[in-house]
Structure 1
Amino acid sequence: MTPLTVTPGTGPGGTPLLIATGEIDLANVQVLARALEALADTAGTVVLDLTAVEYLDSAGLSVLFRHAERLEIVAPPLLEPVLTYSGLADLAVVRAP
């Protein structure tokens, strides 16, 4: 299994924050899905920090698309093209670290 950790926290102003580290792929995408689902009942935006993510495949993108309307994604330069070309950047806020 490819390593992935998702650590919950709180951002500025009390915004829910998830920090992902490792790779997001078919083998571990449920880790990310469960973390996002755990915040389904919270109001407002969820910040998802992908700064320490080295790889994101289509399974990971699928999970992100399901939650796009409430995500603010912090993406490193490595992932920015994937988020843009997939169309996810049109649905979610995507910003640099």
Structure 2
Amino acid sequence: MTIPLTLTPARRADGTSVLTVVGEIDQSNAGTLAAALDGIRGPVVVDLAGVEYLDSAGLNVLFAHSTRLELIAPPLLAPLLTISGLTELVPVHAAKGSAPDTPPR
């Protein structure tokens, strides 16, 4: 069963935009994620801690916005982000309560 995608925009005290993503990111909803990122100006932290599945459509969205992203990712996504090469372009931090940050590139 697919877990619906929930996107929650916010701002940190320092003004940094944050987009918290929960659910599964796949071809059926990657456009929703892209539209949300398109609607946020400037740098944005994408918190993927609540993402349980990410397919190539979701990866394509992240790559398309990679020049302005910083990611927070759960251990489940770490291998995918590394193998795809996204960790070479985007700072990726471990979600709270999980493994340490991805080693520097």
- Whether these two folds match at TM > 0.5 is yes
Q: Of Structure 1 and Structure 2, which has the larger fraction of its residues in helix?
A: 1
Unmatched 5+ residue regions in structure 2? 96-105
Q: TM-score, normalised by structure 2?
A: 0.85
CA deviations over 1:2-59 (Å, ceiling 9, x no partner): 41011100124110000000000001111101100001xx23x200000000000000
Look up the SS of the partner of 1:78 in the other structure: coil
Structure showing greater radius of gyration is 2
Matches within 5 A, 1:78-97: 78-97=76-95
Give the % identical residues. 56
Q: Which moved more, 1:58-67 or 1:7-16?
A: 7-16
Q: Equivalent of 1:71, from 69, 72, 78?
A: 69
What is the rounded CA distance, in whole Å, between the counterparts of 2:36 and 2:13 in structure 1?
19
1:29 corresponding residue in structure 2:
30
Unmatched 5+ residue regions in structure 1? none
Report if the CA contact (8 A) 1:54-1:78 is conserved.
Answer: yes
How big is the alpha-carbon RMSD for the aligned residues of Structure 1 and Structure 2?
1.3
What is the rounded CA distance, in whole Å, between the counterparts of 1:12 and 1:87 in structure 2?
31
Number of residues paired by the alignment? 94
